[in-house]
């Protein structure tokens, strides 16, 4: 597995391109089954509360060396171009101590993107895109720790029915562009969320073989190599497409609610 987006940390990393402008075990009881009338009433109340406001697409990510952050910013640009959709960009908390990050030569996090206060923010979203690098074909521990903190949301199924998708970073071409997203789907399943892959909606760009390109039908992606390789033009365009596509799905589902 390569560095930067893969399993081995990079020692060579360029700054990410600027874009257009608490883990805890779940100890609670299993969620109760709500009567259909109660669920319907909650949906109506939610729709009424949301009337007059823009739909919110949260883009929640973890990025150690900047590759995933570059995709997140371009996804935000794409989603922000969809009328009626507000983009909320958040990073998950870092779990490694500063001295370890320094030894791994990880750059400081950009304060322009705030750390999500807690998983309790997620119910405010009408849809979510999660971005993370791979660690042996699965999401990085920092993102898993964030998912592990969503126990109270799981208990009450507060995220059920919300659309969600993934974008990833890997170190090599065989490093997990598909499996990293695939193994993450279990997190959505237990919350009752709706997985939204991009399929081949990117069009001809999904079939190009003349250059190296991350991404798959599961979602956008980047090959980080040893960390010195930054996202290509096509990889960034795919991330922007995913943001726009996801925003359009969120909007479509809201209009048919």
pLDDT > 90 fraction of the chain, expressed in percent and rounded:
65
Residue 193 has pLDDT above 60, yes or no: yes
Between 235 and 225, the more confident residue is: 235
Q: Residue 215: pLDDT band by 50, 70, 90 thresholds?
A: confident
Residue 211 pLDDT level (bands cut at 50, 70, 90): confident
**pLDDT tens-digit series, residues 67-118:** 999 999 999 999 999 999 999 999 999 999 999 999 998 999 999 999 999 9
pLDDT of residue 4: 43
Residue 203 pLDDT > 80, yes or no? yes
Token pair listed for 115: 């750390």
CATH class of 56-255: alpha beta
Domain ranges of the chain: 56-255
pLDDT digits (tens, 9 = 90+) for 241-256: 999 999 999 999 998 8
List the structure tokens of 243.
Answer: 């943001």
Burial of 109 (0-12, 13-18, 19+ CB in 10 A): middle
Question: What pLDDT, in 10s, does the model give residues 118-168?
Answer: 999 999 999 999 999 999 999 999 999 999 999 999 999 999 999 999 999
| DSSP assignment of the chain | --BSSSSB--S--PPPPPPP-------SPPPPPPPHHHHHHHHHHHHHHHTTS-EEEEEEE--SSSHHHHHHHHHHHHHHTSTTEEEEEEEPPP-S-HHHHHHTTPPPPPTTSPBPS-GGGGGG-SEEEEEEEEETTEE-HHHHHHHHTTHHHHHHTTTTT-EEEEEEEESSTTS-TTHHHHTTHHHHHHHT-EE---TTTTGGGGT--SS----BTTB-EEE-TTTTPPPPHHHHHHHHHHHHHHHHHHHHHHHT-
Using CA atoms, how far apart are residues 192 and 215, in angstroms rounded to an integer?
Answer: 25
pTM metric for this prediction:
0.80
Q: Is pLDDT at 61 greater than 50 in this prediction?
A: yes
Closest CA to 128 of 72, 170, 66: 72
Instruction: Kindly state the tokens that stand for 68.
Output: 């995933």
Query: Looking at residue 36, what is its pLDDT?
Result: 54
């Amino acid at each position: 597995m390569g560095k930067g987006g893969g399993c081995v940390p990079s020692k060579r990393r360029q700054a990410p391109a600027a874009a257009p402008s608490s883990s805890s075990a779940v100890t609670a009881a299993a969620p109760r089954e709500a009567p259909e009338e109660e669920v319907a009433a909650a949906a109506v109340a939610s729709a009424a509360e949301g009337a007059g406001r823009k739909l919110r697409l949260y883009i929640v990510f973890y990025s150690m060396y900047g590759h995933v952050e570059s995709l997140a910013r371009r996804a935000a640009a794409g989603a922000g171009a969809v009328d009626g959709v507000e983009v909320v960009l958040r990073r998950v908390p870092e779990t490694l101590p500063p001295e370890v990050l320094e030894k791994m030569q990880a750059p400081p996090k950009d304060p322009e993107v705030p750390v999500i206060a807690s998983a309790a923010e997620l119910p405010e979203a009408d849809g979510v895109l999660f971005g993370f690098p791979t660690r042996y074909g699965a999401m990085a521990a920092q993102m898993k720790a964030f998912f592990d903190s969503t126990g109270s949301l799981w208990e009450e199924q507060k995220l059920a029915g919300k659309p969600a998708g993934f974008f990833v970073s890997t170190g090599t071409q065989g490093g997990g562009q598909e499996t990293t997203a695939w193994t993450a789907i279990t997190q959505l399943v237990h919350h009752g969320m709706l997985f939204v892959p991009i399929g081949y909606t990117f069009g001809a760009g999904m079939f190009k073989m003349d250059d190296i390109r991350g991404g798959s039908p599961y979602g956008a992606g980047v090959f980080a190599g040893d960390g010195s390789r930054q996202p290509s033009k096509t990889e960034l365009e795919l991330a922007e497409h995913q943001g726009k596509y996801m925003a359009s799905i969120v909007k479509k589902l809201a209009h048919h609610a």
